Amino acid sequence: MDLPQKFGKYTLLRRLATGGMAEIFLARQQGMGGFEKEVVVKRLLPTHAQNEELVTMFLDEARIAANLTHPNIAQIFDLGRAGDDYFIAMEFVRGVDLRRLCAQGIAEDAFLPRHHAVRIVAEVCDALAYAHAKTDEEGRPMHIVHRDVSPTNVLITYEGGVKLVDFGIAKASNKANVTKAGQIKGKFGYMAPEQALGGHLDHRTDLFAVGINLYEITVGRRLFKADNEVETLEAIEQARVVPPREVDPDYPEALERIVLKALARDPDARYQSARDLQMALEEYLAGAGMRSTAGMLAEYVRSLFAEQIELEAEESARLREEAKALEDEGQGPAEAAEAPAAAPPRPRPPLRRPSPRRRPPRPWRSPRRRWRPRRRPSSIPGPR
């Protein structure tokens, strides 16, 4: 596909990702009086356009997310069809996902400070508390369960904001597509025991996944990661959790209690709402004398991704100029393909590897590698 390219009222600028169900583009919307806005367009793959079940799942995602208006949830702007293609237009979040943030922190020998980690998870809990309590137009509970609260679905903006994304497999009472009994949906390694067993799910299922994320980004290693998916699921089903203080004797006892309660195998033994878990985390930060503001988190993120931010700004300016030329000339895809090729964008910088003398924790590597307890990064100020 030649880009930029017109797509309904949007101009597709750059392909961001392609999955098994859809492809995602950075796009530009232009309106009257010089109005313009960058959005993300998620387009159902043409090969799935005739698959009724997949189309229904795609539309369900938009219907669920469109009902959610919260600062910690990426917004849905539009649902439509351009020709034979179904699409969703959503908020473009400038930032990185939680997995990449931690990976870059390892590469820079500046792993995510604990106070920022707790703050990020508290913001995710705020988003889930809102989604879990959401009602429809008639006041009936929607019973939304995200089912995929994983590091790749938690975005950290360059301004220090936290966004929960991708309600593609969310469970809700108003969904047209119903998950069959015993069917498993979600990422292996971030499921609750009842989810791995194909059992009944409710809002507490999401809280177990939150507990996994909290464990990994504060302890510094994967929790449920075995040699294969079968062993991973077995570990989750039995909720085999090594207490954080057995990994790192300096791990705070108060935070360990929160983590282990969130990871209780029995849903009745967990926190009973995302709000309860959020309040426990807020109280921990206050009791430990820790502060993590959006500005402080932004400073940390920008220190890790300064080069990428600069390259993204250059690329964004170039793409805007190309899109404007395409819109002004009224070119369609065929004419755009014949236009002179623009200079290729500068490649994004790879993750810089740490010095061979340094051995930072590797939270998303195989557990067969020896793990060393996390050390306070000297370059990041603030209490641990």
Average pLDDT for runs of 10 along the chain of length 384: 85 87 88 82 88 84 84 91 90 94 93 96 97 90 91 95 80 46 61 89 95 95 85 88 95 97 96 97 96 96 94 85 73 45 58 49 46 45 44
Give the domain-ending residue among 268, 298, 328: 298
pLDDT for residue 370: 42
For the chain, the maximum distance between any two Cα atoms, rounded to a whole number of angstroms, is 65
pLDDT for residue 128: 96
pLDDT for residue 347: 63
Q: Are residues 55 and 119 in the same domain?
A: no
Q: Bridge partners of 37? A: 29
**Residue 13, both tokens:** 């600028």
Other C-beta atoms closer than 10 Å to the C-beta of 358 total 11
Q: Bridge partners of 76? A: 90
d(CA 356, CA 146): 40
Q: Given strand 10-18, what is the order of strands in its sheet?
A: 5-7, 10-18, 22-30, 36-44, 85-91, 76-82
User: What's the Cα-to-Cα distance from 4 to each of 31, 303, 328, rounded to whole Å?
Assistant: 17, 31, 13
In-domain check, residue 371: no
pLDDT for residue 21: 82
Q: Are residues 233 and 329 in the same domain?
A: no
Q: Which domain holds residue 56?
A: 5-92+307-338
Q: Which residue out of 97, 126, 148, 206 is catalytically annotated?
A: 148
pLDDT for residue 55: 86
Tell me the pTM. Answer: 0.79
Q: Are residues 322 and 294 in the same domain?
A: no
Q: Are residues 119 and 158 in the same domain?
A: yes
In-domain check, residue 205: yes
Q: Are residues 162 and 291 in the same domain?
A: yes
pLDDT for residue 18: 86
Is residue 148 annotated as part of the catalytic site, yes or no? yes
Q: Indicate the number of domains in the chain.
A: 2
Q: Are residues 76 and 175 in the same domain?
A: no
Q: Which helix (H) or strand (E) holds 64?
A: helix 52-66
